[in-house]
Structure 1
Amino acid sequence: MASTTFVLGASRGIGWELVQQALADGERVIATARGDDALARLRAAGATALRVDLSDPASVSGLSWQLDGEKIDTAWHVAGVMCSRASATQPPSREQFDRVMHTNVLGAMQAIPQVAPLVQAAGGRYAFVSSAMGLIGGVSGSGAWLYRVSKAALNMAVASAHTAYPGSTFVCLHPGWVQTSMGGDSAPVTVADSVSGMRRVVAALPPDAGVRFVHHDGRPASGW
């Protein structure tokens, strides 16, 4: 039986590439998107498409019934948003704070209790696309500090949540500086290389790996 892969946030970029690579490897894929066009593209590719908006708590709350009866071998939490590149010399507006923290942190904290039991039932792996910008150790600047704070909070949410689901492996991943709409065309890492690297990292994690933070090329992160 083909393994089941779940991708939360698959409309474009890293999420869409994860879907394509998983399908190419013969995996059964369930993926989420917000818009009609993205959902149609996922279905055309061969994935089961679910409508979920991580910025909308009411939308996320319906995830469990959409996944009812599933066992998930590998779950990928990809959805996230960037903020302005403002440093700590400028306070974020309330609207900016709510948008970034609701999507990057609350969305994950809502999804985990619904998805993690299905991962644990399969003895599977739950991977979260985070960022080295959220690492506490070795901070070199404060650019995009709201985004940094949101990713640090995501890392803590994942690390603490794993204690409730010890029968699964949780991992936070830094995808690299990737050529996406967020990373820009000048980024040194292609989407395909980032995704293939992260997939190798996740597939190689032993069942007793616990929770950790790893770069897309397999390097462990320190100070997270």
Structure 2
Amino acid sequence: MATTLILGASRGIGLEFVRQYRAAGDRVVATARDAQGLKKLEDLGARALKLDVADPASAGGLSRQLDGDKFDVAVYVAGVYSTAGAKEPPTQQEFDRVMRTNVLGAMQVIPQVGPLVEQAGGRFVFITSGMGHIAGTSSSYGWLYRASKAALNMAVRAASHDYPRAIFIAMSPGWVKTDMGGPGAPLTPQQSVSAMREAIARFKPADSGTLRDHDGSQFDGW
């Protein structure tokens, strides 16, 4: 039985990852910030852990909760959005909110989870966004969010060198019908996660440190 870790799993894409990996027979460990989210995970049969990746004290204690588990797949889904463009500066509060969740959270969990994925020879996937693809940038819309995802991509690529027995991937879920993506998005969470799971299973060691779309295709540049 494979063991999977989903970080940031109380709704949307994260919750759908839990649902699909559980349906496939995996043992799933998943995190949420509050009691309501934890109950959703427990109802799906996951081992639910309380974690707020934006809180350094909470994120710093993750390894104690994981207690040495080894993970065939780990997925960092936690993320927050910001829509303003470059004609207005972000406030410090907004900057901290977005960067803490999208970048600092990932950088805090990597040293704790990376060795556990390595021990299983597994895959560590970080949900990024096409909006963080520098070569594909066509507007400043969501510039703080864009910057945070570009920073996440760099963190993933850099960290991949320190965990050579794991496969590190920055992966866009596509444009998905979630609270963040809105109702006009072309993909449902079910479609996006199904495609990502198929792609994750195909990744090989040579793919580590790359930026991928939800179907596994590689972005042109960063």
**TM bucket, shorter chain:** over 0.9
Q: Deviation at 1:3? A: 0.4
CA contact (8 A) 2:6 2:17 kept: yes
CA contact (8 A) 2:200 2:216 kept: no
Instruction: Quote the residue 2:73 is aligned against.
Output: 74
Q: 1:20 & 1:61 partners in 2: Cα distance?
A: 27
Pairing 1:205–2:192 present: no
CA contact (8 A) 1:4 1:71 kept: yes
Over aligned residues, Cα RMSD in angstroms? 0.8
Secondary structure class of the residue paired with 1:7: strand
CA deviation string 1:55-74 (max 9, x = no partner): 11110011001111211000
Could you tell me the percent identity over the aligned residues? 55
Instruction: Quote the residue 1:5 is aligned against.
Output: 4
Letter in 1 for 2:176: V
Aligned pair partner of 1:180 in 158, 178, 181:
178
Q: 2:27 & 2:159 partners in 1: Cα distance?
A: 26
Q: Deviation at 1:219? A: 2.0
Instruction: Quote the residue 1:102 is aligned against.
Output: 100
Q: 1:53 & 1:59 partners in 2: Cα distance?
A: 6
Q: Deviation at 1:218? A: 2.5
Q: 1:39 & 1:76 partners in 2: Cα distance?
A: 17
Instruction: Quote the residue 1:160 is aligned against.
Output: 158
Instruction: Quote the residue 1:170 is aligned against.
Output: 168
Q: How does 1:20-31 map to 2 (within 5 A)?
A: 20-31=19-30
CA contact (8 A) 2:129 2:171 kept: yes
Letter in 2 for 1:53: D
Q: Deviation at 1:24? A: 0.3
Q: Deviation at 1:32? A: 0.1
Q: 1:20 & 1:87 partners in 2: Cα distance?
A: 35
CA contact (8 A) 2:2 2:26 kept: yes
Q: Deviation at 1:207? A: 3.4
CA contact (8 A) 1:9 1:77 kept: yes
Instruction: Quote the residue 2:87 is aligned against.
Output: 89
Q: 1:31 & 1:144 partners in 2: Cα distance?
A: 28
Q: Deviation at 1:138? A: 2.8
**Where in structure 1 are there 5+ consecutive unaligned residues?**
none
Q: Deviation at 1:77? A: 0.3
TM-score between the two structures when normalised by the length of structure 1 = 0.97
TM-score between the two structures when normalised by the length of structure 2 = 0.98
CA deviation string 1:32-87 (max 9, x = no partner): 0011011012112110000000111110011001111211000000000001x211
Q: 1:208 & 1:185 partners in 2: Cα distance?
A: 36
CA deviation string 1:180-216 (max 9, x = no partner): 0000111111100000011111100123432211111
CA deviation string 1:76-122 (max 9, x = no partner): 00000001x21111110111001000111000000100000000000
